[in-house]
């Protein structure tokens, strides 16, 4: 048995370019590798069964927290009268550059929230993250406000927006 959550979204699945986080015995991972390689480009055996889910929770924690940070940066630029598109371009060229700033920052600027990954699903993942952290006694002081924002957006009717829609709580509400 393996647990093998993925990251890369719908496009990554179409392109067989998913990142796959595999938990299980070494021999089982080796047996499954041809199937995993048919679906993904980055396949990492992260530990025993269950470790894949922990890795996915870590991924979703970083993704949600980074989307919130990008939303706050774009909102700050807008509210300050600075062109947020130019701020994004400048940030992309420096240490803050990331796929999330690139892809989700663009969605935020365009206010294009057709779902790639729905807010309600990320809110569900936030519950998984919180539970995993609680089970091992790990505090999540930076993530707790982000999880609350996901819940807030779901409660306000934005659950079917792309998770980049977090910016709507900052600039449109």
Catalytic residues: 56
- Residue 24 backbone phi and psi in degrees, to 5: 160, 180
When computed from its CA atoms, the radius of gyration of the chain, rounded to whole angstroms, is 17
State the Cα–Cα distance between residues 143 and 62, nearest whole angstrom: 9
Spatial CA neighbour of 32 closest among 8, 52, 12: 52
State the Cα–Cα distance between residues 164 and 99, nearest whole angstrom: 13
């Amino acid at each position: 048995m393996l647990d093998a959550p993925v990251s890369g979204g719908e496009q990554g699945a179409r392109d067989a370019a998913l990142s796959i986080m595999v938990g299980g015995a070494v021999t089982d991972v080796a047996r499954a590798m041809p199937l995993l390689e048919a679906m993904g480009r980055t396949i990492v055996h992260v530990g025993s069964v269950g470790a894949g889910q922990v890795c996915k929770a870590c991924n979703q924690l970083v993704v949600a927290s980074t989307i919130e940070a990008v939303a706050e940066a774009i909102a700050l630029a807008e509210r300050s009268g600075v062109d947020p598109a130019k701020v994004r371009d400048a940030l992309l060229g420096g240490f803050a550059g990331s796929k999330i700033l690139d892809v989700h920052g663009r969605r935020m600027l365009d206010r294009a929230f057709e779902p790639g990954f729905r807010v309600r699903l990320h809110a569900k993942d936030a519950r998984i993250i919180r539970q995993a952290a609680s089970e091992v006694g790990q505090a999540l002081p930076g993530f707790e406000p982000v999880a609350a924002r996901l819940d807030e957006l779901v409660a306000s009717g934005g659950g079917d927006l792309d998770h980049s829609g977090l910016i709507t709580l900052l600039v449109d509400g």
